[in-house]
Structure 1
Amino acid sequence: MRVVIPASIFDLFPVPQATNMIPNPRQGKTLVLCPIGLGNFIMATPALKALSDAVGKDRVSLLALKSGIGDMARASNLFGRVFEWDPDGEGLGKGISLLREVRAEKFTHSVALFPASHWKFTAFHRLAGSAFRMGFAYPNQKAPEWIQHISLPLTDTHDTLQNLKLVETFLGTAIQNATDPFFPSDVKSPERLPSMPFFACHPGSSAERGMDAKRLPPEVFAKMIAHVHRETGWPCVLVGGPEEKDLRKAVAAGCRDAIMEVPIRSLAETAGTLRFAKFFLGNDSGLMHLSDAVGTRCAAYFGPTDEKRTGPYGYWEMRNGASRHLVLRRKNTIPIWTLKTVGSNPPLKAGDETHWNLEELEAWEALRSWIQAL
């Protein structure tokens, strides 16, 4: 028996022939690869709903790479099946086991939402077994293009609109009346939620792969909270995950008279707190997107990340003479993590984390004017 040793992995998994023809997704089964992150999932909800509505939920399944996203996806009623694997926490063994389940479904199509340029996404996309694969072409990673039959060029726009464009092209028809991003799970009010007006603050953000550089220092948040409290009399409820407990303590230490303690036990109760808040104050984070998704206006700090891509959706719209959401960016600074650096964000140099820090008086004047228009 002759054994043929492949010269490269591409002999085992040949590069697909590029095409402009998309097999009809209404006659097949589609696997959607969802990027990691609460905010990424929420920003993608309009595209996911449009796809599910067009082909029927029984023809759409989702691969969720965080357990919280899997829970939201199941609650959304948009998918026939939800697969779940945390590649950072559950290891390769779980991934291989899940891959067997996915391949057994015999998907005809797979679609990788934006952003999904990491090699783990690309490998799973290729190995999932679908006959037709679609996604985006990325400026710093070529592997997605090697395994996709169609790779759309990226547009300098919001992530929500990026994925709507992908689904629209995939379906071959224009999407009419797309929804804004939404929270697809139940919303619950915590037991001790204040009856008086209050605002919410999330001083954290994701921390993986250096993304904690998105955070404004806790002492700056404390000063902003104190300003709002003195101006309006509204107390502040601090929100965030259990891993951010020390961060919230650091903020509260600088503005104790303004803080109202509310025990929050779940993402559903976080959503309930944000829904009833007068506004949200925080960083570019998943909870910022959650606030927008439940109808609460946001005042969000942006430093190295780009609000054009990941700002609270609709921040460019006007309401009552003020922006729907307020982007707080230090004067004369620009983002360095943009569409051009997706998948290869340059690391911050020592001391760079203070480059974008807000100047207190300038930021407070912008925030005060915006609050007055709420």
Structure 2
Amino acid sequence: MTQRAFPILFITATRIGDAVLSSGLIKFLADQIPNARFTIVSGPLAAPLFAHVPGLDRVIVMEKGKGKGHWFKLWNQVRHRKWGLVVDLRGSGTAYFLRREKRAVWKRNTGEPIHKVVEAAKVLKLEGDPPAPHLYITPDVQALADQLLAPRPGEPAGPILAVGPASNWVGKIWPIERFAQTTQQLLGPGGALAGGRLLILGGPGDGRMVEELRMASARGRYVDLTGKVDLLTAYAALKRADLFIGNDSGLMHIAAAAGVPTIGLFGPSDERRYGPWGSLTKAVRGPRSFEQFLAVDPDLSQAIRHMSDLPVTTVVKAAKALLAEVKAKAVEEDAAEPTVEDAAVTPELQAVVEDAAPAEEAATPEDAIDADRT
């Protein structure tokens, strides 16, 4: 007997990084509820991340407008359907005014800082290890990325060092000349990735920034995809990399989700909440703590190059240590198959999976929608 579809409305973040960090919940729900059908609501920048989610009915791109009008517009788009589950990672009141069987709504953490991946798992009341970020791609996307990374005829492939030198704010950008020095030390003779190639990634507006990186690279030994590929193709390309180094950004989180060993460069952002997620990742900062940056720039909005106190030697040392850790782990995995502990399904989610009783008809929203936080 064919199971009836279980419709899930999943309201995720506006920013790319936050959307990536919560993406593991989609995989978790897809794995737990085989008949799940997803409608995903996202901001315009993050929306392309969800193009290949299994069981996808629709991606709704929600752009912020004046006041709370965008929330009422969203409600009008989704109110006609009875939802099995509404997951709202924006903390809005939307779920309270829809017909649904279950709802899971983000609430602001008022205690000690916790990582955004852990915070997302708490929305579904998951126990055990939180679902790691996960993005879905098709074989065609991976094939395109592999084609873009293919070495020239007669040239050895070698390892790939990927870098993401941009970010959404000048305060989080490590000086480009230091990226150049770091890549030269790692890819040059005697380096940890000697003889390898440089993969440069960034958005459409980052081309001029990375010019110095191209100039400093050995001729023909770099692949510059800055502004040339979409987010999922960048994700597929990163799956082939041996190491990623980048500023705290959405691209850094995409790299960590791709499983590439990741060095995240931090200064005026909190690695306790936004550090790259995964066992083979490291958050690296200079001598100042996040709180010291807050003291100088309380709103974290000034056009100050906060990252200037992070030296090249610190980043190179961290990269070498992480690569050594990767090799050690590979040896351990050859000796014994690793075991993975999945997140446990709580009774609350089990009730959703087992088709909980329908909720009462929802009311019309008035002024309860207040969710422009992420």
TM above 0.5, yes or no, is yes
**Pairing 1:328-347 to 2, within 5 Å after superposition:** 328-334=284-290, 346-347=299-300
Cα-Cα RMSD? 3.7
Separation of aligned partners in 2, 1:128 and 1:155: 32
Of 175, 186, 197, 1:217 maps to 175
Aligned AA (1:327): A
The answer to whether the 8 Å contact 1:67/1:85 transfers is no
Q: How far has the Cα of 1:311 moved from its partner?
A: 1.2
Unmatched tracts of structure 2, length 5 or more: 152-156, 327-374
State the AA in 2 paired with 1:244.
Answer: D
In structure 2, distance between residues paired with 1:348 and 1:61: 34
The two structures have a TM-score, normalised by structure 2, of: 0.68
CA-CA distance at 1:29 after TM superposition:
5.5
Answer whether contact 1:107 1:130 (CA < 8 A) is retained.
yes
Inter-CA distance 61–181: structure 2 relative to 1 (3 Å threshold): same
Amino acid paired to 1:33: I
Deviation at 1:73, TM superposition (A): 2.5
The answer on whether the counterparts of 1:305 and 1:336 sit within 8 Å (CA) in structure 2 is no
- Equivalence for 1:199: 161
Partner amino acid, structure 1, of 2:263: A
Superposed, which structure 2 residues align to 1:40-51 within 5 Å? 40-51=18-29
Q: What's the counterpart of residue 39 of structure 2?
A: 61
Shift of 1:226: 1.5
Is 1:299 matched with 2:263? Answer: yes
Is contact 1:111-1:133 (8 Å) kept?
yes
The 1:245/1:329 distance shift into structure 2, 3 A limit, reads: same
- The 1-side partners of 2:15 and 2:199 are apart by 23
Q: Which residue of 2 aligns with 1:280?
A: 244
* Deviations 1:322-347, CA, capped at 9 Å, x for gaps: xx222221024335789xxxxx9723
Shift in Å at residue 201 of structure 1? 0.7
2-side partners of 1:303 and 1:332: how far apart?
7
- Cα distance in 1 between the residues matched to 2:208 and 2:293: 27
**CA–CA distance in structure 2, aligned partners of residues 289 and 355 of structure 1:** 19
Deviates more, 1:38-47 or 1:305-314: 38-47
Query: Identical aligned pairs, as a percentage?
Result: 21
In the alignment, is residue 238 of structure 1 matched against residue 200 of structure 2? yes
Aligned residue for 1:276, secondary structure, equals coil
**For the structure 1 residues 83 and 336, does the alpha-carbon distance in structure 2 shift closer, same or farther, using more than 3 Å as the test?**
farther
Answer whether contact 1:190 1:262 (CA < 8 A) is retained: no
Matched residue count: 305
Amino acid at match of 1:291: A
Tell me whether 46-55 or 222-231 shows the greater mean CA deviation. Answer: 46-55
- Give the conservation status (yes or no) of the 8 Å contact 2:121–2:131: no
Corresponding residue for residue 363 of structure 1: 315
3-state DSSP class of the match of 1:247? coil
* Equivalent of 1:100 in 52, 61, 76: 76
Shift of 1:127: 6.4
The alpha-carbon deviation at position 107 of structure 1 amounts to 4.2
What SS is found at the alignment partner of 1:246? Answer: coil
Deviation for aligned residue 1:280: 0.6
| Structure 1 residue matching 2:108: 3-state secondary structure | coil
Aligned residues of 2:263 and 2:281 also touching (Cα < 8 A): yes
Are 1:216 and 1:301, in contact at CA under 8 Å, matched by a contact in 2?
A: yes
Write the distance in 2 (CA, Å) between the matches of 1:65 and 1:280. 26
Distance 1:27 1:266 in 2: 31
Separation in 1, partners of 2:307, 2:148? 39
- Hey, what does 1:9 align to over in structure 2? none
Change (3 A) 1:57 1:307: farther
Kindly provide the CA deviation profile for residues 175-206 of structure 1, in whole angstroms up to 9, marking residues without a partner as x: 5675422221234224341322221111112x
Q: 1:43 to 1:349 in 2, by over 3 A?
A: closer
Amino acid at match of 1:157: I
CA deviation after TM superposition for structure 1 residue 125, in Å:
5.8
Question: Shift of residue 93 of structure 1?
Answer: 8.0
Tell me how far apart the structure 2 counterparts of residues 39 and 312 of structure 1 sit (CA, whole Å).
Answer: 10
Quote the Cα distance in structure 1 between the aligned partners of 2:210 and 2:30. 39
What is the CA–CA distance in structure 2 between the aligned matches of 1:68 and 1:348, rounded to whole Å? 22
Cα distance, 1:30–1:273 mapped onto 2, change above 3 Å: closer
Amino acid of the structure 2 residue aligned with 1:180: A
Q: Structure 2: which amino acid aligns with 1:84? A: V
- SS of corresponding position for 1:76: coil
Cα displacement (A) at 1:68: 4.6
- AA at the equivalent of 1:165: K
Q: 2: distance between equivalents of 1:100 and 1:136? A: 21
Distance in structure 1 (CA, Å) of the matches to 2:293 and 2:85: 31
Unpaired segments of 5 or more residues in structure 1?
1-25, 140-152, 169-173, 318-323, 339-343
Residue of structure 2 in register with 1:311 after alignment: 275
